[in-house]
Structure 1
Amino acid sequence: MEIWLTSEDTGAYGRDIDTDLPTLLRSIIHIMPSHTMLRLGMTNPPYILEHLEAMADIMNHPRVYQFLHVPVQSGSNPVLEKMNREYSVEEFSQICDYLIEHVPHITLATDIICGFPTEEEEHHQESLDLLKKYHLPVVNISQFYPRPGTVAAKWKKVPSAIVKKRSGDVTNIFNSYNTNTHYLGTEQLVWIIGFDDRKSSIPDSQKQIMGHTKAYTKVVLNQNPESLGTDQPASALFGKCVKIQVTEAQ
């Protein structure tokens, strides 16, 4: 079973009531059933930066996924300033460096916006360089869309052809690396969450089942004793943890 703790900015929890996110998480962990895993939601860089040591300690807890979504939006400080973001690329890098060192195999997710008004080619290149540096396993790539009522909606837009090309550049960088090869040949604990419903037209008995590693990496398993390590039916494993051997990584 998974519990997702999420909000518009999870890291900001408690700032208005004289507490903080690590305090909340430790309270939740204390009362969670032993078979339950906790997944943290998105947090903007300034708030996680305040609690790096505590958050690393929490994500190393056996019942907390080693996963965190920290959106950077751009690898360029001038663009971040125009976006009114309250952090710098250097601060985002500080978060990545610390968590990668102190939370083994952590899955860090981020967001990149391509073609924000005022984004020049050199700024775009800085975003590409940031991705090349960290090889983040989850990158949500979007093209700038002017939201009505925002200041940026009134600014001169980057030509759509350039925005499309920049989005393609980011996608190509992301597709150029594989962050899962270290799993090959290893045994992993996987928390089973249900059937893989991408092929919803086939009966459940023929579907693969899916789950997540401690680092929240998706794992897909065939319904056979060799894959599952047990003769139990797949449905009996939902919400449970199994040990598997990784034979393929994409």
Structure 2
Amino acid sequence: MYAHLHEWSPTLASPHQVHREGVCEIWLTSEDTGAYGRDIGTDLPTLLWKLVEVIPEGAMLRLGMTNPPYILEHLEEMAKILHHPRVYSFLHVPVQTGSDSVLMDMKREYCIADFKLVVDFLKKQVPGITIATDIICGFPGETEADFQETLKLIQEYKFPSLFINQFYPRPGTPAAKMEQVPAQVKKQRTRMLSQLFQSYTPYDHKIGEKQHVLITEESFDGQYYVAHNKFYEQVLVPKQPELLGKMIEVDIYEAGKHFMKGKPAQNGKIYTPSIVKPLLRGAVSGTMEEFKTINENAHYCWSSEKSFSASLLPWNLKCPRVKIVSLSLAVLAVIMAVTIAIFR
């Protein structure tokens, strides 16, 4: 239903292909999406503007995590892109702590003022935007005053999506050699931050709204379909198979901490981004044409008497990946045979 584009080709063949396969939601994701292009003489906004040109109506693009330093360089362009009707007005910008002192200990390349600049600018230029962020509780050296700064930051912005992690030292890392915050203190701070996050409800004011949502998958409990609106807020809708992979208008009638519920609006327009059925959950985009080629080759490799033809052998097929895999297996078999012969 959606495609993770971990590596991007210089051409735009991939988005054209996935939409032909029924993909209606593209995720552009990496460890730091904002750093795209720095090593090849381009940048993230340039890529995104090319992408939105080929995304059909009714399909959406979701941007992955980006740290403050890189996004700061392109704030104005990023605001324009996040305003585009086929791009979710959503951005995951991890802050990790509300304390500059702790950020320095973490060796982060930004300060709280940088993070606030990004958030404030985007909230002003892209009304309604969803900003998600991360917090690490109990990083080595974190004082009570540092933690209070974190609580203050969350209270100020009331992020609708907040990922709270308790610090755990990884062996061999510099942080593991630092003086650790007592486990009980880390647990208490994690609990306090979680209670603060649970104390506000971000979607209550949206009850009664009409929203356009893209329906992409089934909920974990199997009771609803999961959709997202322009701000990548989760909306649960009735399970109507004919609507999967479509963008529809819904009336919001209920709201929870992490979701809203909507029902299809009467006489609402349905947008279909592809003429084919969407990929099944777990299906891998980009394999259909390749398998089609293999099947076509295999079809012609059998005679009318169903006798086996040498053209069906992997190295005679036209698919280069099959040839590579076959050759690799052959080489591996030779290596194993030689190794066994030597050590007998």
| TM-score, normalised relative to structure 1 | 0.91
**Partner Cα distance (2:233, 2:163) in 1:** 16
**Partner Cα distance (2:145, 2:191) in 1:** 16
1:64 aligns with 2:87: yes
Residue 52 of structure 2 is matched in structure 1 by 29
1:235 aligns with 2:241: yes
Q: How does 1:7-156 map to 2 (within 5 A)?
A: 7-156=30-179
Deviation at 1:148, TM superposition (A): 2.2
Q: Which amino acid aligns with 1:195?
A: E
**Partner Cα distance (2:205, 2:72) in 1:** 28
Residue 204 of structure 1 is matched in structure 2 by none
**Partner Cα distance (1:73, 1:162) in 2:** 17
Q: Which amino acid aligns with 1:123?
A: D
Q: Which amino acid aligns with 1:199?
A: D
1:174 aligns with 2:190: no
Deviation at 1:114, TM superposition (A): 0.2
**Partner Cα distance (1:132, 1:125) in 2:** 10
Deviations 1:131-181 (A, max 9, x none): 000001111000001122211110111000000000011101111111112
Residue 228 of structure 2 is matched in structure 1 by 212
Q: Which amino acid aligns with 1:209?
A: Y
5+ residue gaps in structure 1?
Answer: 201-206, 224-233
Q: How does 1:188-207 map to 2 (within 5 A)?
A: 188-196=211-219, 198-200=220-222, 207=223
Deviation at 1:222, TM superposition (A): 2.5
Deviation at 1:113, TM superposition (A): 0.1
- Runs of 4+ in structure 1 off by over 3 angstroms are none
Q: Provide the identity percentage.
A: 52
Q: Secondary structure at the match of 2:254?
A: coil
Residue 238 of structure 2 is matched in structure 1 by 222
Q: Which amino acid aligns with 1:245?
A: D
Deviation at 1:49, TM superposition (A): 1.0
**Partner Cα distance (2:192, 2:217) in 1:** 35
Deviation at 1:190, TM superposition (A): 0.7
Given that 1:191 and 1:213 are in contact with CA atoms closer than 8 Å, whether structure 2 keeps it comes out as: yes
Deviation at 1:55, TM superposition (A): 0.6
**Partner Cα distance (1:117, 1:210) in 2:** 39
Deviation at 1:111, TM superposition (A): 0.3
Deviation at 1:53, TM superposition (A): 0.8
Residue 248 of structure 1 is matched in structure 2 by 254
**Partner Cα distance (2:226, 2:39) in 1:** 39
Q: Secondary structure at the match of 2:249?
A: strand
Deviation at 1:219, TM superposition (A): 0.4
* Greater Cα offset, 57-66 or 144-153: 144-153
**Partner Cα distance (2:133, 2:104) in 1:** 18
Deviation at 1:194, TM superposition (A): 2.3
5+ residue gaps in structure 2?
Answer: 1-23, 257-344
Residue 335 of structure 2 is matched in structure 1 by none
Q: What is the Cα-based RMSD across aligned positions, in Å?
A: 0.9
Q: Which amino acid aligns with 2:168?
A: Y
